[in-house]
């Protein structure tokens, strides 16, 4: 637990330094780095399943998808176009490569990796690029989204350890409890409202603490689902952690899991304001 707390403090310090001193471009590259490392760990788990994914091309294309909103969209190249390119290239390559017994699984999992990790995370990059009269709005909204998702995980862990009695998904993740879920939702709602109030000068007028608290609930709920999806994949790969990159937490995938599904939801909700 001490290692986890220390790693969490260091990571939040890095996020602050990035947002404070590197600005939007630095934040985009941080998201891209996290996305690429997450995809690498995802493909490594596929190898443990006995598959042979198109990991090199998939990783390069994943990096392009993550950076597309900043660098490629102005030239008419969107993340959706790059995703279509992945389908085309993987489909051609599967005709003459890989074990015939696993071609369908290799194609499906290789494509799923590109869709699930970089394509969904690229919506966080799009959040960073949101522009209003205040140039820092996108950065603050991205920080809000990350905080709501990650504090749900922290709140669920602490409350679950303290009073957790009723298992939520004992087969998928035995440690998760319904009491922990409730605690995580409450913590996320409070964090969301607090950030909206503290950063009110940088956010749209409609994004009030009450509204922030309300929309934090579906974001936090989806963060829990996102974490469970990673647990399902890890169980299929028969691994506890996706890596040992971050002491007390595990791999980068163990860090980014709750952001994957919440990134597109957050982007969609922010469009309302």
- Per-residue pLDDT tens for 22-49? 788 999 999 999 999 999 999 999 888 8
Q: Could you tell me what percent of the chain has a pLDDT over 90?
A: 52
At residue 46's C-alpha, the angle toward residues 222 and 7, to 5°, is 55
The pLDDT value given to residue 4 = 58
pLDDT of residue 102: 77
Which of 81-90, 128-137, 180-189, 240-249 shows the highest mean pLDDT? 81-90
Query: What band does 248 get if pLDDT is binned at 50, 70 and 90?
Result: low
Beta bridge partners of 250: 246
- What percent of the chain is helix, strand and coil (3-state, nearest 5)? 75, 5, 20
pLDDT at position 7 over 70: no
Query: pTM of the entire structure?
Result: 0.91
Residue pair 246/254 in contact by the 8 Å Cβ criterion: yes
Altogether, the residues listed in the chain come to a count of 273
Q: Which tokens in the block code for residue 34?
A: 């996290």
pLDDT of res. 100 = 74
Tokens for 242, please give them: 């996706």
**185 — pLDDT class (breaks 50, 70, 90):** very high
Taking Cα atoms as reference points, which of 135, 151, 209, 232 lies closest to residue 185? 151
- Please report, for residues 40, 61, 140, 250, the alpha-carbon distance to residue 58 in angstroms, rounded to integers and kept in the order given: 9, 5, 30, 23
Residue-number span of the structural domain to which 126 is assigned = 2-270
Write down the mean pLDDT value for the chain: 87
Q: Give the number of domains in the chain.
A: 1
For residue 86, what are the contacts with CB-CB under 8 A and spacing of at least 6?
Answer: 58, 61, 111, 114
pLDDT digits (tens, 9 = 90+) for 85-128: 999 999 999 988 777 777 888 899 999 999 999 999 999 999 99
Cα–Cα dist 226/32, whole Å: 19
Location of structure tokens 């980014």? 256
């Amino acid at each position: 637990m001490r290692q986890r707390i220390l790693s969490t403090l260091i990571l939040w310090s890095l996020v602050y330094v990035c947002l404070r001193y590197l600005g939007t471009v630095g934040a985009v590259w941080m998201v891209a780095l996290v996305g690429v490392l997450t995809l690498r760990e995802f493909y490594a788990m596929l190898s443990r399943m006995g598959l042979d994914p198109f990991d090199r091309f998939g990783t390069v294309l994943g990096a392009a998808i993550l950076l597309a909103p900043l660098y490629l969209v102005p030239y008419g190249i969107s993340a959706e176009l790059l995703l279509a390119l992945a389908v085309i290239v993987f489909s051609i390559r599967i005709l003459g490569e890989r074990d015939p017994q696993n071609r369908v699984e290799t194609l499906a999992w290789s494509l799923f990796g590109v869709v699930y990790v970089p394509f969904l995370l690229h919506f966080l990059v799009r959040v960073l690029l949101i522009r209003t009269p205040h140039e820092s709005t996108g950065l603050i909204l991205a920080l809000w989204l990350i905080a709501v998702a990650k504090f749900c995980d922290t709140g669920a862990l602490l409350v679950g350890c303290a009073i957790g009695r009723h298992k939520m998904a004992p087969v998928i993740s035995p440690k998760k409890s319904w009491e922990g879920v409730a605690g995580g939702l409450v913590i996320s709602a409070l964090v969301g409202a607090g950030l909206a109030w503290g950063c009110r000068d940088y956010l749209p007028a409609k994004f009030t603490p009450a509204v922030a608290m309300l929309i934090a609930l579906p974001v936090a709920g989806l963060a829990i689902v996102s974490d469970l999806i990673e647990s399902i994949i890890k169980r299929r790969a028969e691994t506890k952690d996706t890596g040992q990159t971050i002491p007390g937490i595990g791999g980068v995938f163990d860090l980014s899991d709750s952001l994957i599904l919440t990134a597109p939801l957050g982007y969609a909700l922010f469009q309302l304001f």
